[in-house]
A and B are shown apart, each in its own frame.
Chain A
Amino acid sequence: MSTLQSERTAVSALDVRGDFPIFARRFEGKPLVYLDSGATSQKPSAVIEAMDTHYREHNANVHRGVYALAQESDAAYEGARAKVAQFVGWEPSTTIFTKNVTEAINLVAYAWGRANVGPGDAVLTTQMEHHANIVPWQQLCRERNAELRYLEVDERGEISLEQLDRELARGDVKLVAFTHVSNVLGTILPVVEMTARVRAAGAVSLVDGAQAVPHMPVDAGSIGADFYAWTGHKALGPTGIGVLHGRAELLDEMEPFLTGGDMIASVSFEGATWNELPYKFEAGTPPIAEAVGLGAAVDYLDALGMERVRTHERELTAYMLNRLGEVPGLNFVGPPEAERRGGLVSFTIEGMHAHDIAELANRGGVCIRAGHHCAQPLMRRLGVSATARASVGVYNEPGDVDALIDALLEGRRVFGL
């Protein structure tokens, strides 16, 4: 057996591609090589069918109907909440469905931030955040005359706990917001150590788990975050649904984010009182079928086993890092060890712009992303204008990485490199 073959077989197989109908697609005769799960995941039949069944058999609005159909819809929606909460070790009553992670972070920035961050206070985040975990804090700090500070990213794509300690010792930090896994660098942050330090300093932590929950076992409860946010569509679920887990003591004290129907206890012409948790933060008709779909997605992931998912993706990422080394002029960002990374690798190739890399990869049926990945400040910190990014999911196999490498080598040939 050749070295390459033995490396391929070293990647533990999940063998689930048949569960994802989109892989029946062909592009100019070529099979779909999907390496953009960091942007959104593909969906298993179980998710698509659960949503289809909900609309065909159980559709009604939730929380208000007395008839049997409405009770079924209610049970489906709340059943999904219970599954989703359990999946990451959290209580259903403090698990709030939002539109996406962006809305979840905005919810905290408005409802907690505006009541607790004032002039002279600081919010701390990191240089590796997605815009969704920067811009809401910029807006909050501008409005409240507070300061927004950033933990630096070093050459390896890591942050320093010593710098976190120094920042917290200044005594003005009210909230620290950081990603669990970087969507550009791939870095897995030491979230347990970070939340413990933040808690000890009397500040509140928010963790963006968008790139973590779909790819590794996550116990948000034992991580110790005050707020933990993630999104359905990156976790084999539908678009239009995100999740915010919050600590009950904080959520109880917070005013609502959006107001209107469903989130009230009573309304008079003079005012209103708020519904109990989590409904206080779910104004209007919620994404019911999407919740059902996300419930089916976490069932699917649970059945696979998140330890197995992580092992598969770590081994696949190690294989990818290794094979990317065969492409002359290729440089990747972030930690060199797959153990320190989620399942994604961002890279540049000397003499080729990221957009051209992605365009040429597409010729081989390979889907990768190019651009700034909604992290412009980080790109400036890294000194690049754009990178190409390949990211894996449960359905990827070593052959997908091989197709990527072939496409990159062919792309270099087209460019005369």
Chain B
Amino acid sequence: MDDLYRDYILDHYKRPRNFGELEPHDMEGLEHNPLCGDELGVHIRVKDGKIEDLRFHGHGCAISQASASIASEELVGMPIEQVGELDADWAIELLGIPVSATRRKCALLGLKVVKGAVTGDNSWPVSATG
């Protein structure tokens, strides 16, 4: 069994959950990872203060795609104000694999685009290790 490319990671990479467009949507975000050329966008529909539905779109490596896919399953139904409190540990723990410093950006890209869409703050996380 590979430490990084575990079966469920590759499964989420090859068959990402909640991927595509969502029309109409209430919030949207788009982020690039300039180092790898990855691009990840999100559409979010909100109802009663909660994420009613969410779709990611774009392309990237197995780690960034799997991370977004796994997170999407947790994010649907989550109260909007809770999104601002989610931190890097939340995303890394969900992913469940050892992430090296260079792949950390990949692992956090999904949460970064969601936080940007919800809070309007595109600066999270402040640094690759932050």
Contacts and interface: CB of A to CB of B under 8 A. Distances in A.
Contacts of B38: 353, 385-386
The A interface is mostly helix, strand or loop, or mixed, namely: mixed
B60 A353 contact: yes
A355 B10 contact: no
Which of A352, A356, A370, A414 lies at the interface centre, i.e. has the most chain B CB atoms within 10 A of its CB? A356
Interface string B39-64: 10000000000000000000111110
B25 interface: no
Given A353-B60, A355-B61, A414 B5 contact: yes
Nearest to A376: B37
Which of A355, A371, A379, A384 lies at the interface centre, i.e. has the most chain B CB atoms within 10 A of its CB? A355
Interface in A351-377: 351-356, 359-360, 370-372, 376
B37 A386 contact: yes
Interface residues of B, number: 18
A23 interface: no
A414 B59 CA distance: 20
Contacts of B5: 356, 360, 414-415
Interface in B52-106: 59-63, 103, 106
Contacts of B106: 355
B61 A372 contact: no
Contacts of B36: 353-355, 370-372, 385-386
B34 to A, nearest CB: 8
B4 A359 contact: yes
Contacts of B39: 385
A132 to B, nearest CB: 16
A124 to B, nearest CB: 26
A271 interface: no
A416 B10 contact: yes
Contacts of A355: 36, 61, 63, 103, 106
Interface string B1-28: 0101100001000100000000000000
Nearest to B35: A371
B110 to A, nearest CB: 15
Contacts of B35: 371
A385 B59 CA distance: 8
A372 B62 contact: no
Contacts of A352: 62
A27 to B, nearest CB: 14
Contacts of A414: 2, 5
A336 B37 CA distance: 25
A353 B10 contact: no
A414 B14 CA distance: 13
Contacts of B4: 359
Contacts of A379: 37
B37 A356 contact: no
Nearest to B60: A353
A359 B103 contact: yes
A372 B39 CA distance: 13
Nearest to B2: A414
Contacts of A376: 37
Contacts of A356: 5, 61-63
Contacts of B60: 353, 385
Interface in B94-128: 103, 106
A324 B33 CA distance: 28
Interface string A372-405: 1000100100001110000000000000000000
A184 to B, nearest CB: 12
A379 B34 CA distance: 12
A145 B10 CA distance: 50
B60 to A, nearest CB: 6
A372 B14 CA distance: 23
25 contacts: A353-B36, A353-B38, A353-B59, A353-B60, A353-B61, A355-B61, A356-B5, A356-B62, A359-B4, A359-B103, A371-B35, A371-B36, A371-B37, A372-B34, A372-B36, A372-B37, A376-B37, A379-B37, A384-B37, A385-B36, A385-B60, A386-B36, A386-B38, A415-B10, A416-B10
Interface of A: 351-356, 359-360, 370-372, 376, 379, 384-386, 414-416
